[in-house]
Amino acid sequence: MNTPNAKLRAVRMGLLMSQDDMARALREAGASAGEPNDANKRLVQRWEGGTTAAPRPVYARALERVTGLPIDALGFAAPLTLASVQSDGHGGHDLEPSTATAPSSTTPAAQTATRTQNGNYSGIWLSHYEFFSSGRANTFTGKHYVVLLQHGNKLTVRSLPGASLNPNSPLTMDLTLDGNVVTGTWVEETASEGYYAGARYHGAIQMLIEPTGRRMVGKWLGFGKEFDVNTGPWTLEFKDANTNKAALEKWNIQPEA
């Protein structure tokens, strides 16, 4: 049995909009943002009735623009929570259990609802991960502006040459898309003049795509210098849909710390 989305209905009524009004506003919001959509009264009815559990990313973004609220406040999937890393007391590190939250969008029903609703994720993204350095007894951040190219359900990620927080540390990722789940591998070559002296690190990664399609959140897995297996949070945040020469030049800069 479908569970009605009472939150979305309440927000719509609070805006003094009929279902037709909401659909019209969604189309206008999409057009003004350069993301045209085909919202109609029947679609709004399916959302409010719970027949459609998760809107496509283009509709999720339009809903946020029209209502001024984040998508999780509209009765859809909850946002993904980024965990933090801590020392495990043995030279490595792991996620802090109290902050590792499992979002409702990981349920099989939610995955099925979104399996065929993903758009194309090609573009420029900001990659951001955290790791704990046992040698320095502190948590550090790695950031890169990356080019993501999608071919079917395959995502290829490559950092721009001058766009890493730690210079001369190129990052690559090879991912597979399955509904709102992204799984694959990562490789980073550390700078020869840096703390890790040109070491090559690699491992596995799995992330979940938020309903707007503008953020992926998950965890990495990889080995440490003590040959233990560590893990930590990793996010990809969308920045630009263009991958032309001008866009690559624009984002080929060092991310802010």
Is residue 118 pLDDT above 60, yes or no?
no
User: 14: which DSSP letter?
Assistant: H
Is residue 91 pLDDT above 80, yes or no?
no
Is residue 227 pLDDT above 80, yes or no?
no
Q: How many Å from the N-terminal Cα to the C-terminal Cα in the chain?
A: 48
Q: What share of the chain has pLDDT > 90, as a percent?
A: 57
Q: Average pLDDT for residues 244-255, to the nearest whole number?
A: 94
pLDDT confidence of residue 77:
64
Q: What distance in Å separates the CA atoms of residue 39 and residue 179, rounded to the nearest whole number?
A: 22
How does 74-99 read in b/e, with b if 16+ C-beta sit within 10 Å? Answer: bbbbbbbebbebeebeeebbbbeeee
Q: What share of the chain has pLDDT > 70, as a percent?
A: 82
Nearest CA to 71 out of 86, 87, 85, 58 is that of 58
Beta carbons of 100 and 250 less than 8 angstroms apart: no
Q: What distance in Å separates the CA atoms of residue 200 and residue 190, rounded to the nearest whole number?
A: 6
Beta carbons of 74 and 7 less than 8 angstroms apart: yes
pTM of the model: 0.70
Question: What does the block give as tokens for 245?
Answer: 């020469």
pLDDT confidence of residue 148:
95
50 Cβ neighbours under 8 A, 6+ residues apart: 2, 3, 4, 5
Instruction: Tell me the one-letter amino acid at 81.
Output: T
Q: What distance in Å separates the CA atoms of residue 102 and residue 193, rounded to the nearest whole number?
A: 39
